[in-house]
Amino acid sequence: MKRKPPNSTGGTKTRSGAEDPDLRRATELFQAGKVAEAAPLIDAAVARNPRNANALRIKALIILRGGLMLEAQKILDRAHKLDPRNPMLPLDQAVIHKLGGRYAEMITSCREALKRMPGSRRGEAMLAQAYEGGGSTDQAIRFIEETIAKRGLDAEMGETYVNVLELAQRRDEALIVAERLLEASTTPPPIRRRLLLHRGRMLEKLGRFDESMDSYDAGHAIFPVTFDPDAWDRRLDAIIDETPPMSIPDPMSDAAATEIPVFIASLPRSGTSLVERIIGVHPAAYGAGETGMVGEVLRGARDRIGNDVFQGVRDATPEVIETLRRQYLEQQKNLFGHSPRIVNKHLQNWQFLPIIAAWFPKAAVIRIDRAPADVGISIYGQNLSHDRMPWATRLDWIGRMIRSHQRFSDAMKARIPNPWLDLDYESLVTEPEPMIRSLIDFLGLDWDDRCLEPHQSERGRGSRRYMPTLSIHQVRQPIGRGSLDRAAAFGDRMAALHLGLAGDS
């Protein structure tokens, strides 16, 4: 009798064969995209049975959503030791390879998974995504079309098909496939949300702006969320009020004096991926992507600094601060090796500026200034995490967050001692060479012509690998001005954003 392949997240039974209701429910929630609800159930399942490999797997995947790649890898390694024959483990490893930009390794892991689970739709879809991420668009299309001819069109493979068709400039076909998937009642809510947002971006490129905005609105309505911008501002005000003017201490340890970390402290969709690649292509630098190492170190130190990490770091002894900064540097070395400059562009860096300054007062901080309305529509049109960034699901909330970021980062610029560069996005894409030269000089690096062609950074000898972000395909194109004045075409449909920028919502 032919053995039925397991589902996409493995079984929900313990090793003794008993059903774990928390694990079963957490798996259902995770598959439905309700990660915040799944997390405490998984924690409970792991606490009851730390040797449950399937619970550890789901915990690792949840942690990955928060950008804690190193911690997720450790948990996944534990699951592999407990259950080395688990057919889902190669796919879990493929997810980590994808987040590290290691597409060749991702392909190998997907093929191993398909050996263990022939015909696994999840495995086939991830192999197609590996071809796509690695830049093999034609190979991805061939593989997808061969698979669809055998098994029909399912939601996960169909979503990847939409992506690669658009990359191949076959946008009309991509829209047809997207519409077919959106009409299907079996398309899961997370994929439906991503398809609606992608559909909106394609319609925007075709000049169909009202339809585009309607599709964005529908995508964000899939998962209703709550966010209180006034409470958020009160929290930021408290951090500002409690952060005194800081100076470079004397004497300093070698760890405190390091200039290796570079922090981009800007909102998503403001040009952070482009700046990371401009720096990362330099032979003396490394682009570490949206690595959550600051949060990961803080999370591991709750027993010493408490739940209010800002207060905890302010009140910590010099010995505790030294321990935390050394933990960050050790994780940085383990993940990214040795480079004179390592760029961290995590989306929470701007919120952590007082902590970054306490750990690394000589580390460079880069803030990118892009037209607020263009940042706003770019955020609204992307699949940012609705549970971690609920504010990204409404234009007025986005406007409030842009305003909050500017106000908070202005306050930190006046308080922290770090070298600080404000980089104008419009000047960067219209007059790249003088702006890039000033950026490289600011970082204390010798000039290298490769910094003018960041889109070439993954190719040829000395190529670099980057954590994929929502901008992955954009930053593989030459620097251009195509994203300027993007919001203007939407006219009155941007009114809510402007209300938020004015402080209303």
Residue 206 located in a structural domain: no
424 and 486 both lie in a single domain: yes
Q: What is the per-residue DSSP string for 120-153?
A: -HHHHHHHHHHHHHTT-HHHHHHHHHHHHHHH--
Say if residue 147 is in the same domain as residue 277: no
113 and 236 fall within a common domain: no
Answer whether residue 485 shows pLDDT above 60: yes
Q: How many residues does the chain have?
A: 505
Same domain, 151 and 280: no
Q: Is 126 inside any structural domain?
A: yes
Alpha-carbon span 63 to 295, nearest angstrom? 12
Residue 163, in any domain of the structure: yes
> Phi/psi at 105 (nearest 5 deg)?
-65, -35
Alpha carbons 128 and 122: distance in angstroms, whole number: 10
**Is residue 202 packed enough to be buried (19+ CB in 10 Å), middle (13-18) or exposed (0-12)?**
buried
In a domain, 15, yes or no: no
In sequence order, which residues have a C-beta less than 8 Å from that of residue 120 and are 6 or more positions away? 5, 87, 91, 113, 114
Report pLDDT digits (tens) over 76-104: 889 989 998 888 889 888 988 887 788 89
Outline where 344-481 has alpha helix (H): 353-359, 372-380, 395-413, 425-430, 432-442
Task: Indicate whether 12 belongs to any domain.
Answer: no
Q: Per the domain annotation, does 148 fall within a domain?
A: yes
Amino acid 10: pLDDT:
46
376 pLDDT tier (thresholds 50, 70, 90) = very high
Reported as type and span, the H/E element at residue 211 is helix 209-220
Residues 282 and 174 in one domain: no
Question: Of 121, 146, 179, which one is at a domain's C-terminal end?
Answer: 179
| 481 pLDDT more than 90 | no
Q: Are residues 262 and 167 in the same domain?
A: no
Give a yes or no: residue 204 inside a domain.
Answer: no
Instruction: Give the count of domains, the chain.
Output: 2
Q: Is residue 461 part of a domain?
A: yes
What is the extent of the structural domain holding 141? 21-179
pLDDT score recorded for residue 87: 85
Considering the domain architecture, whether residues 163 and 253 belong to the same structural domain is answered as no
Instruction: Decide which of 179, 202, 219 is a domain's last residue.
Output: 179
Same domain assignment for residues 174 and 241: no
CATH number at residue 391: 3.40.50.300
- The tens digit of pLDDT for each residue in 121-174 reads 989 999 999 998 888 999 999 999 999 999 999 999 999 999 999 999 999 999
pLDDT at 133: 87
What is the average pLDDT score of the chain? 89
Name the residue type at position 383: N
Q: What is the CATH number of the domain that holds 147?
A: 1.25.40.10
Query: What's the pLDDT tens digit per position in 445-471?
Result: 999 999 998 877 555 444 455 455 545
Looking at residue 17, what is its pLDDT?
46
Q: Identify whether residues 238 and 130 lie together within a single domain.
A: no
- Looking at 141, 159, 179, the residue that finishes a domain is 179
Q: Which tens digit of pLDDT belongs to each residue from 231-251?
A: 999 999 999 999 999 999 989
End-to-end CA distance of the chain: 60
Q: For position 67, what pLDDT does the model report? A: 64
pLDDT in tens, 283-338: 999 998 888 889 989 988 999 999 999 999 999 999 999 999 999 999 899 888 89
